[in-house]
Amino acid sequence: MGRSYTHRLRVRYGECDPQGVVFNAHYFAYFDVALTELWREVAGSYTAMMEQGVDLQVVEATARYRAPARFDDEIDVTIDVAKLGTTSLVTTLAIRRDGTLLVEGEVAHVFVDARTLSKIPIPDRIRTALEG
């Protein structure tokens, strides 16, 4: 539907479990890194967006694991804007190593006023940037 962004990461040793694969919770951190980089592209930065009174809250996050990533792998985290509602944003994410799908996920956010944390409509400038 909208903008797509890919960010490359290298798996660090401390992100792996005793079986030598990335511990499942770290994939959500990888999703967050890609989202932060997306905000840098569409809003200047996440901090800049917050300084303008806009924040986000995660309301749902899912992941489906297809294959493991391991220490020192270079992985690509792709985030796609799947849906823009009035106050919400749904992104789909895919983590790949050399084109092989490792993890796919979805994260739903609600836009909120940075001070009151009340839901707000997606600001027009952000909506336009996310539509790509």
Annotated catalytic residues are 17
* Amino acid identity, position 4: S
DSSP codes joined into one string, 42-108: HHS-HHHHHHTTEEEEEEEEEEEE-S--BTT-EEEEEEEEEEE-SSEEEEEEEEEETTEEEEEEEEE
CA 51 to centroid of chain Cα atoms: 20
Cβ within 8 Å of residue 86, ≥6 positions away: 121, 122
